[in-house]
Amino acid sequence: MIDLIPAIDIIDGKCVRLTKGDYDRKKVYNEDPVAVAVEFERLGFKRLHVVDLDGAKSRHIVNDAVLRAITSATSLIVDFGGGIKTAEDIEKAFDAGAAMVTLGSIAVTNRELCAEWIRKYGAERIILGADVRNGKISINGWKEDSEEELIPFLRKYTEQGIRNVLCTEISKDGTLQGPATELYRQVMQEFPDMHLIASGGVSSNDDIDDLERNGIPAVVFGKAFYEGRIDVAKLPL
């Protein structure tokens, strides 16, 4: 059964969604992310993906107080990403109650530090963020494209024990045009033991069902839920 992971993206302490990572195309869905998290738990979700968009842009954690409030108010298993660049950042995220952290840009720019964190905290507490645009990994809040190609990038980290990977196809994110299922199929063919979390483009229950039929282990969704396009009663919670 596919793991279902709703997302809360935070800017200025508010629950928002962007389109294709564009900060100028921001829509606020709720002023209170904690209330949203409590509602997700009430509906039966067990996991939550929290993204500090201010942190991603500022290159250091900004909304750790919101993370702490969410983990204090719920029993959700929360993974947290956005702006984790230093040992202080990762400690701050774990101290605020994150069960796992998502490492994105830092996994490209400082592989040695990430390897140190994998050894220190354990691969099970690390999610590798692979944000893809035109086949290359994008960094720093999707503002820059690196020279890292997806499959070789993933291989470097699976060789270090990483199993949890959040893969976002940026061109799909926030568009409600369907996920990049073929891309995820290719990743799973290369890494059949990976716990791949599909992200970007989910528009309906049908999209989730299609990902499950294609053997994708997990999916993150946000905008489709907030805009009433997902029927929670029909989800395999």
Tokens 């997902």 locate to: 230
Q: How many CA atoms lie within 13 A of 5 on its CB side?
A: 24
Six-digit token pair at 28? 């606020």
Whether 9 sits among the annotated catalytic residues: the reply is yes
> What span, in angstroms and rounded, lies between the C-alpha atoms of 51 and 141?
11
CA distances from 159 to 81, 104, 118, 125, 143 (A): 22, 17, 12, 16, 28
Six-digit token pair at 197? 């979390």
Instruction: Name residues whose C-beta falls within 8 Å of residue 44's C-beta, 6 or more positions apart in sequence.
Output: 232, 237
Number of Cβ within a 10 Å radius of residue 178: 16
CA distances from 179 to 139, 141, 168, 199, 237 (A): 20, 20, 9, 7, 20
Q: Which of 52, 79, 89, 131 is catalytic?
A: 131
Q: Which of 9, 64, 79, 89 is catalytic?
A: 9
The neighbouring-strand residues paired with 172 are none
Whether 95 sits among the annotated catalytic residues: the reply is no
**Active site residue ranges:** 9, 131
